[in-house]
Amino acid sequence: MTNDLSHERADGLSHVRADGSAHMVDVSAKEVTARSATATATLVTRPDVVARILDGSLPKGEVIGTARIAAIMAVKRTSDLIPLCHPLPIAGVEVDIVGADDRVTITVSVRTTSRTGVEMEALTGASIGALTVYDMVKAVDRAAVVTDVRVLEKHGGRSGDWSAA
């Protein structure tokens, strides 16, 4: 086993060593900076189910508040769920849940001051928020679908700002 932690490959795959094995990237030499990311996930269901989500009349109870707490909890536990993610000091999490027509959109924004970004935390929060909505509507619509999980934007770090088209 080597003590050299600089395993980044020439092709830029920083989580894969030259021999093909996965490893956790050493971020100790990176500068601590303010970083943020926003991600979204969508649950597609029937319009009548969305109406019940919004008015709180589903059998399992208040969907939006439960999904918001689930998303926040997921953000804080991302490094426990995704093997190569660094545990980060989460400075703030905002969760917006909006329903319209046949869909519920969960948008999660995460902020930190750290050596690495929070895209995975935002994606995990949005995903778990959407899965929580699914769990709470499956009694009335088992055909509901979680879709369009993606990063919308990220700010900070060496690679700078990025926004989806």
Compute the distance between CA of residue 80 and CA of residue 61 in angstroms, rounded to an integer: 28
- Helix, strand, coil % (nearest 5) of the chain? 30, 30, 40
148 carries an active-site annotation: no
The answer to whether 70 and 153 are in contact (CB under 8 A) is no
102 C-beta neighbours (distance < 10 Å), count: 15
Long-range CB contacts (within 8 A, 24+) of 4-9: none
Where are the strands (E) in the chain, listed by range? 33-44, 90-100, 103-114, 145-155, 162-163
Give the dihedral sign, CA 53/46/104/127: positive
The answer to whether 107 and 152 are in contact (CB under 8 A) is yes
Which among 26, 102, 135, 148 is annotated as catalytic? 135
Known catalytic residues? 135
